[in-house]
Every structure is written in structure tokens, then in C-alpha cells.
Amino acid sequence: MEAAAKYRPNIEIAEDAEALASRAADLFLSTAREALRSRGAFYVALSGGQTPRLAFEKLAASPAAQSLLWQHIHVFWVDERYVPVDSPQSNYRLASEAFLKEVPIPPDNVHKIPTEYEDICTAARSYETILRNAFALEEGGIPEFDLIVLGMGADGHTASLLPNCFAPFDTDDLACVVYVMDGRLNRITLTHPVLRAARHLAVLVSGAEKAETLRKVLTGEPDEVRYPIHILWPVLDKVVWLVDRDAAAAIP
């Protein structure tokens, strides 16, 4: 049976990248309001990349975002290249500049992935401790984010779970190092148990260059090694796919 029929991905198609970003910003706002109303706090993990940038800018410009109870909102990152915080490649810098500096979030509620250690493994363990403390986790506990915002690369990666890279698929760790073998930057990423444990996940996919991969991802048998985004298949009922028309062009 084809994955699309078996798992029924919940796909929303937006007219273009701009409309997709507006929809993603609305989803952030409605999920935040719901979490604040029912649990008194909102825990969100953000990705990097061009698609979220536009959504962050929409949020920054939204009066509704200004009126959220930011003292009860905690922001984390899904993944990070191992670069200083002022690097143009820093996901922390992207979200900070496009969005966080425009809203009244207390600095203590911003939980970046550390990149200042000499040893990247120490940084990954430190991020794990940050997660354990912020979520008051017991030994073996998994954080339950209210929302995780993901993207999908044209190769089918999500977070920093890249095809053909060493990233532990079988792990109890909350965060891990991804060693990229082709000269690109090594990364730290949330692991798939953390992604799967979230209450809601949004996958933002924009651009014609992703259309063919998106078709294969949505219609093929799940294969996490080739298309790491398939790690979401066991929890597809919690995932909303926000896709623009260009990226959706090949979906049957």
C-alpha cells in the first residue's frame, strides 16, 4: 500500500511562499494561544532555513504576536550548524533577528543550542541538559513540545537528520551530533524520539525544487535512511504539511 493512502498526510496548499508564511505564522499563534489557555505555557522548537524566515517576519509584524503572554513562552531550536551565534548560518541568529528581538520574550525563555564549546559532543550534552531542566524531565523522560516547526530539504531531510550522514536513528538521546561527511558543517539536532513526542508538528515546504522529492516522500513506502523526514510517519496524525503551490505541483 502506498504511504499516502495508508497514512493520510494532512496537507494544506498555499498559493505561494508569502501565503505559506502567513499560514505558518497563524498556526504558531493559534497553537500558542491554545497551549497557554490549556497548560499555561507554550514550548516551541524552531528550524532554520529560508521558509521559516518569512514566517518569522510575519510573526514579528503581527499585533497578535505582540499580545501573547511571552513570559510563559519558551523557544528552543530543532537544530543548529556548529557556528558562532553571529554567523549568517546560525539558526539562532536567524530567528533572533527575524522575530525574537521584536517581541517581549524574557531572555531566560530563549534556549539556544550551545555552539561555544570546543567539543561539539559537549555542546550536544549541554543542550540535552537545557532541555531536561526546562521541561523538568525525570531520568528517561522525553520533552513534549507544543509545536515543532520543521522544514524539508530537496533531499528529503528534516531537522539535521540528513540522508547519507551519520545520525543515530536508534537512540534515547534528546539531542545528537550529526557528522556531515562532505565538508559541510557538523550539526546538533533534536533526535527523532523528541520530534515524534511533540503535540503538534508543522512541516513548511516551499519551492519547485522540492516538488519531485515531496511527491516521492508522500507516496512512497517510508524509508528513513533515504528520506529522513519519514521518521514522522508513525505520528503523521500530529503533522500538518504547509506546502506552497510550486512544491505541491507533483503531488498526485
Q: What is the dihedral of CA 12, 153, 114, 104, to 10 degrees?
A: -30
For the record, the C-alpha cell of 244 comes out as 506552497
**Least distance to ligand 6PG from the beta carbon of 141, Å?**
24
Quote the radius of gyration of the chain (alpha carbons, Å): 17
9 versus 52: smaller Cβ distance to ligand 6PG:
52
213 lines the binding site for ligand 6PG (CB under 6 A): no
Looking up cell 503538534 gives 200
Return the range that interacts with ligand 6PG (CB under 6 A); candidates 25-33, 42-50, 57-65, 178-186.
42-50
50 lines the binding site for ligand 6PG (CB under 6 A): yes
48 lines the binding site for ligand 6PG (CB under 6 A): yes
Tell how strand 201-205 and strand 239-244 pair up: parallel
Judged by CB under 6 A, the residue of 31, 90, 115, 158 near ligand 6PG is 158
CA–CA separation, 226 and 243 (whole Å): 21
What would the DSSP string read from start to end of 35-61?
HHHHHS-EEEEE--SHHHHHHHHHHHH
Judged by CB under 6 A, the residue of 22, 31, 47, 96 near ligand 6PG is 47
68 versus 217: smaller Cβ distance to ligand 6PG:
217
98 versus 152: smaller Cβ distance to ligand 6PG:
152
Return the range that interacts with ligand 6PG (CB under 6 A); candidates 3-11, 32-40, 155-163, 173-181.
155-163
Nearest to 49 by CA among 182, 150, 177: 150
**Least distance to ligand 6PG from the beta carbon of 13, Å?**
16
Encoded one letter per residue, x for contact with ligand 6PG by CB under 6 A and - for no contact, window 51-90 reads: x--------------------------xx-----------
22 versus 51: smaller Cβ distance to ligand 6PG:
51
89: three-class secondary structure by DSSP: coil
153 lines the binding site for ligand 6PG (CB under 6 A): yes
CA–CA separation, 79 and 123 (whole Å): 12
- Residues 6+ positions from 145 with CB-CB distance below 8 Å: 43, 44, 45, 76, 194, 197, 198, 199
| Binding interface with ligand 6PG (CB under 6 A) | 47-51, 78-79, 91, 151-153, 157-159
